[in-house]
Copies of this chain bind each other. A is one copy, B any other.
Amino acid sequence: MIKQEKMTITCQREIAASIYELTLEGQLVDQMVEPGQFVHLRVSEGIDPLLRRPISISKIHSDRQAFTMIYRAEGKGTQLLSEKQIGDKVDVLGPLGHGFPIEKNMKGKKALLVGGGIGVPPLYELSHRLLEGDMDVVHVLGFQNESSAFYIDQFSQLGDTYAASVDGTVGTKGFVTNILDQLKFDFDVLYACGPTPMLKALEERFRDKRAYLSLEQRMGCGIGACFACVCAVKDDPEQSAYRKVCSDGPVFPIGEVVL
């Protein structure tokens, strides 16, 4: 169920250049079920900025009613968020949307998790869940450069982890697809989150595989009421079918929607 709560910051730190890890505590956490869901944050009590900001849930700490997000402080809203301190409250609406499906009876099977930039965070909770189901996980993570890279160590503790960076300062030089094309992993299911060009590249390669992609879109309400975040359904002859990224997604089976 979707709840709105003023949650308390228990930890906020810069873990890479302009990348912050933020932990919030509150009862809303009890509602969080799926990896890949997101929250919609109001970072100011006033009108500056006006709209909420969608941020993925990166790790759920059910035991202590807390969750962690990882975000890049870029525009006005995320900048303001990054200035908040331990003990401050943040107005959270969530959990929202449908996350990555964890299929049953996948014990021993192999999952490939591909993340790019600020698409990496939701994969972290996902990876934990898959491990709980005794799956094998491999992570391929892409970043701009070393200074903006994060969580490579954390992912390494969960499974094989490969990194790529545009300038080669960390991992392979290039994109995640360079790694994928080189190492040609074998996998039973693919999960990915990242910039649209990355998702398109994955779709080209793996459209016939079992795979799930998490999308981004500019949002208004975040709950399915305003039709801001709509994407078209593939292979729809009438061109009228649609999905809402906020409430039907953000995760869709590969090939379901037009990227």
A residues with a Cβ closer than 8 A to B are: 44, 46-48, 76
Task: Give CA–CA (A214, B46) in the complex, Å.
Answer: 33
CB distance from A193 to the nearest CB of B (A): 31
User: Which chain B residues lie closer than 8 Å to A47 at the CB level?
Assistant: 47-48
Question: Residue on B with the closest CB to A80?
Answer: B46
Q: Could you list 6 examples of A-B contacts with CB < 8 Å?
A: A44-B48, A46-B48, A46-B76, A47-B47, A47-B48, A48-B48
5 closest A-B pairs by beta carbon, nearest first, are A48-B48, A46-B48, A47-B48, A44-B48, A47-B47
Task: Give CA–CA (A47, B48) in the complex, Å.
Answer: 7
Task: Give CA–CA (A76, B47) in the complex, Å.
Answer: 12
CB distance from A192 to the nearest CB of B (A): 36
Task: Give CA–CA (A47, B46) in the complex, Å.
Answer: 10
Task: Give CA–CA (A97, B37) in the complex, Å.
Answer: 57
User: Which chain B residues lie closer than 8 Å to A76 at the CB level?
Assistant: 46
